[in-house]
Amino acid sequence: MSDDLNPRTKAVHAGTRRSQYGEVSEALFLTQGFVYDTAEAAEARFLQSGPDEFIYARYGNPTVAMFEERIAALEGTEDGFATASGMAAVNGALMAFLKAGDHVVAGRALFGSCLYILENILPRYGVDVTLIDGTDLDAWRAAVRPDTRLCFFETISNPALEVVDIQSVSEIAHAQGALVVVDNVFATPVYSKAVQQGADIIVYSTTKHVDGQGRALGGVILGSKEHIRGAIEPYMKHTGGAMSPFNAWVMLKGLETMELRVRAQTTNAMVLAEALQGHEKLSRVIYPGHSSHPQHDLVSRQMGAGGTILSFDIKGGRDAAFRFLNALEIAVISNNLGDAKSIATPPAFTTHQRLPDAQKAELGITPGLVRFSCGIEDPQDLERDILRALEAV
Ligand SMILES: *Cc1c(COP(=O)(O)O)cnc(C)c1O
């Protein structure tokens, strides 16, 4: 396929491998292994396998390869490795590059499990981790040192929706020879331009917008051929975090409609952010796509849109937030995001419950905070549902 196609075309066609039957919809090769015609062929394949030659589904599989090629084409990276979950991708992207004695700088506003890897696992293996406020470029300049191997951050961050400047952090990191690894779930592959902005490795939980219909876990690590085949593939294929062929098939079909869903979800987020501004029951409304967000200019430059998630703080803390959540009729209470169904979460009591209160306060995770992942429902229905539920507070 030619490289100059636009993303919407790539999302439907890139990476397709048709079997001898000429199927229209991508085939699901639900097989862990592959038969060799002869013993010599088996030997040859273990020595060097070609692009259409597979050995074992932990290493690769035709359906998984179609998904990897399609999402890499969308992101604009040379290659990708699909993983069993988003966390298998984050863990792989960190562990494959790090060794004892290395230094890591990370933005502190992170998904709970990412924070666990950085705070609890990496230090056990002699990796020195510095957590900083990722929005503060001076903090990056102060923290990155000659022995810094890698910089890691999430942008937009969960759940306070802070934006880290990928281009500026990449310049700071590269000046010291450090790799830049971005967990870009909230930007989605639709809005991400992380490669052009300097990121070396981009990680997604495809459980979120790529599936987008709440069915399967998955993840992907994207980057140059050298990084993916040189460091990531050997680590992933020997440690077992491979994506199942069935989930790859779900994700591949998810990519076809992802842009349509994500743009509709973003429109809904903007409608809701607008409708909730200044609401008497709320102390703040956070949406990166709204002009009231302190980093609105940065997010416009970096992504061209504000994404599918907004957060708002309900006056009255836990009781008020719980009354609101229990009064919702359309949006469901759950902890996934990026789904076709709108999902509301109280992060202080669910996804970030584990954090000490001081750390919650530092990250803006107040008791009244609700993270609202916009689905693809009718925006007027969602607006009415939220306004009605706020009445119950
Ligand atoms: C969900 C999520 C993850 C983890 O992904 P799983 O598929 O649940 O393992 C990592 N980072 C971010 C930003 C996420 O939203």
| Residue spans per domain, the chain | 7-254, 259-391
Any atom of ligand 1 within 6 Å of the Cβ of 117: no
Q: Work out the average pLDDT over 194-212.
A: 98
Any atom of ligand 1 within 6 Å of the Cβ of 67: no
Please tell me the distance between residue 213's alpha carbon and the centre of ligand 1 in angstroms. 15
Going through the chain in order, the beta strands assigned E by DSSP cover: 79-83, 103-107, 128-132, 148-154, 179-183, 201-205, 219-223, 282-286, 309-314, 332-333, 343-345, 369-373
Protein residue closest via CA to atom 7 of ligand 1: 86
Does residue 346 have a pLDDT over 80?
yes
- 212 or 355: whose pLDDT is higher? 212
The edge-to-edge listing of strands for the beta sheet with 219-223 is 79-83, 219-223, 201-205, 179-183, 148-154, 103-107, 128-132
Does residue 2 have a pLDDT over 90?
no
Does residue 217 have a pLDDT over 90?
yes
Could you tell me the CATH superfamily of domain 259-391? Aspartate Aminotransferase, domain 1 (3.90.1150.10)
What is the spatial distance between Cα 95 and Cα 97, in angstroms, rounded to a whole number?
A: 5
| pLDDT for res 253 | 97
How far from the centroid of its chain's Cα atoms is residue 130's Cα?
Answer: 22
Protein residue closest via CA to atom 15 of ligand 1: 185
Cβ 320 vs Cβ 393: under 8 Å: yes
What is the spatial distance between Cα 68 and Cα 167, in angstroms, rounded to a whole number?
A: 25
* C-alpha closest to that of 272 among 345, 366, 372, 367: 372
Any atom of ligand 1 within 6 Å of the Cβ of 86: yes
| pLDDT for res 112 | 87
Q: Work out the average pLDDT over 137-147.
A: 98
Q: Which fold has domain 7-254?
A: Aspartate Aminotransferase; domain 2 (3.40.640)
To test the pocket of ligand 1, the residue of 158, 188, 207 to mutate (highest count of ligand atoms within 8 Å of its CB) is: 207
Does residue 3 have a pLDDT over 80?
no
| pLDDT for res 365 | 95
Any atom of ligand 1 within 6 Å of the Cβ of 366: no
Angle between helices 379-391 and 245-276 (to 10 degrees): 60
Going through 66-186 in order, the beta strands assigned E by DSSP cover: 79-83, 103-107, 128-132, 148-154, 179-183
Atom of ligand 1 nearest to the CA of 110: 13
To test the pocket of ligand 1, the residue of 110, 111, 153 to mutate (highest count of ligand atoms within 8 Å of its CB) is: 111
Tokens of 329: 């009729």
Any atom of ligand 1 within 6 Å of the Cβ of 68: no
Please tell me the distance between residue 159's alpha carbon and the centre of ligand 1 in angstroms. 12
User: What confidence tens digit (pLDDT) does each residue in 13-53 have?
Assistant: 999 999 999 999 999 999 999 999 999 999 999 999 888 89
Mean pLDDT of the chain: 96
* C-alpha closest to that of 98 among 79, 125, 119: 125
Cα-Cα-Cα-Cα dihedral sign, residues 159, 115, 218, 349: negative
Whether this model's pTM surpasses 0.75: yes
Confidence of residue 139 (pLDDT cuts 50, 70, 90): very high
Confidence of residue 329 (pLDDT cuts 50, 70, 90): very high
Any atom of ligand 1 within 6 Å of the Cβ of 211: no
Identity (one letter) of the amino acid at 115? L
Please tell me the distance between residue 324's alpha carbon and the centre of ligand 1 in angstroms. 25
Q: Work out the average pLDDT over 380-384.
A: 98
Please tell me the distance between residue 186's alpha carbon and the centre of ligand 1 in angstroms. 10
Percent of the chain with pLDDT strictly greater than 70: 99
User: What confidence tens digit (pLDDT) does each residue in 67-122 have?
Assistant: 999 999 999 999 999 999 999 999 999 999 999 999 999 999 998 899 999 999 99
Within 161-244, where are the H helices? 166-175, 188-191, 225-227, 233-239
| pLDDT for res 382 | 98
Secondary structure (3-state) at 51? coil
Any atom of ligand 1 within 6 Å of the Cβ of 203: no
| pLDDT for res 187 | 97
Cβ 302 vs Cβ 308: under 8 Å: no
Place of tokens 């502190």: 108
Any atom of ligand 1 within 6 Å of the Cβ of 60: no
Same fold for the domain at 7-254 and the one at 259-391? no
Any atom of ligand 1 within 6 Å of the Cβ of 183: yes
Phi and psi, residue 319, nearest 5°: -60, -45
Percent of the chain with pLDDT strictly greater than 90: 96
What is the spatial distance between Cα 127 and Cα 305, in angstroms, rounded to a whole number?
A: 36
Please tell me the distance between residue 86's alpha carbon and the centre of ligand 1 in angstroms. 5
Does residue 348 have a pLDDT over 90?
yes
Q: What angle do CA 128, 92, 123 make, to 5 degrees?
A: 20
| pLDDT for res 125 | 97
Please tell me the distance between residue 34's alpha carbon and the centre of ligand 1 in angstroms. 31
